A and B are shown apart, each in its own frame.
Chain A
Amino acid sequence: GENVEQHPSTLSVQEGDSAVIKCTYSDSASNYFPWYKQELGKRPQLIIDIRSNVGEKKDQRIAVTLNKTAKHFSLHITETQPEDSAVYFCAAKDYKLSFGAGTTVTVRA
């Protein structure tokens, strides 16, 4: 089955700096890669996703890149703000949706 690894597990950045989270996946049949943000005590919510026929996607301060050959994908957050502090999960899906272990991002004011 699919195995998704996520790094780092924690990330502390100064407000205004960039944050990068990296994930690798094992199943080459995976073709959908969403990223979820989970605030304390709340449900995970989708922030951006990318499909396997696209190499990069951007939405305002958030961007995701995908390298199918290397089987890894990354989340980039630019100009970080305190409200970006949360746990971020990557996921990969072929027929089932599997999540990474999460990255706790702390943005220091």
Chain B
Amino acid sequence: EAGVAQSPRYKIIEKRQSVAFWCNPISGHATLYWYQQILGQGPKLLIQFQNNGVVDDSQLPKDRFSAERLKGVDSTLKIQPAKLEDSAVYLCASSSRTDFLNTEAFFGQGTRLTVV
């Protein structure tokens, strides 16, 4: 099966600029996650969607970050305006849910963002 697709792979922007990341999950996967991974740290959950509804966005800095998952498939994550501390790899992941059992989350290659 095709994996989780993300674009772009790399992005360099100046602080205060805006940036958007795109994710296409594995076909049929209802759950979609966006994680921020700062160098040397574990992935931090920014937002989790179930179909097109938000399950959790408690760690999403809502004053500058936004995310949407229209039609319950593709998703975009936007940062506006960016700060230096937003430099990180942004990972998208997806998983299916069968009979309410938690299943493996598959990760995309990530987008490496550098804010200068």
> Which secondary structure characterizes the binding site on chain A?
strand
Knowing A34-B104, A34-B105, A96-B48, the reply to whether A101 touches B56 (Cβ < 8 A) is no
* Chain B residue, CB-CB nearest to A31: B102
- In the complex, are the beta carbons of B45 and A43 less than 8 A apart? no
CB distance from A53 to the nearest CB of B (A): 10
Residues of A within 8 A of B58 (CB): 1
User: How many of A's residues come within 8 Å of B, CB to CB?
Assistant: 22
Residues of chain B lying within 8 A (CB to CB) of residue A46: 104-106
Q: How many A-B residue pairs have CB under 8 A?
A: 53
* With known contacts A34-B105, A46-B104, A51-B101, A96–B110 Cβ distance under 8 A: no
Q: Does A72 sit within 8 A of B, measured CB to CB? A: no
Residue contact A43 to B109, C-beta cutoff 8 Å: yes
The answer to whether B55 has its CB under 8 Å from any CB of chain A is yes
Once the chains bind, are B48 and A97 in contact (CB under 8 Å)? yes
Q: What separation, in Å, do the CA atoms of A5 and B35 have in the docked complex?
A: 17
Interface size in chain B (residues, C-beta < 8 A): 25
Q: Least Cβ distance of B92 to chain A in Å?
A: 10
A78 at interface by CB-CB < 8 Å: no
Q: Are A97 and B42 in contact, CB atoms less than 8 angstroms apart?
A: no
A43-B109, A44-B107 in contact; A97/B45 too (CB < 8 A)? yes
Query: Which chain A residues lie closer than 8 Å to B55 at the CB level?
Result: 95-96
Interface centre among B33, B48, B102 (most CB of A within 10 A): B102
In whole angstroms, what is the CA distance A69 to B43 when docked? 26
**If A43-B91, A44-B107, A95-B56 touch, does A101 touch B102 (CB 8 Å cutoff)?**
no
Please list 8 pairs of residues, one from A and one from B, whose beta carbons are closer than 8 Å in the complex, sorted by A's number.
A1-B56, A34-B105, A43-B107, A44-B43, A44-B107, A97-B33, A97-B102, A99-B43
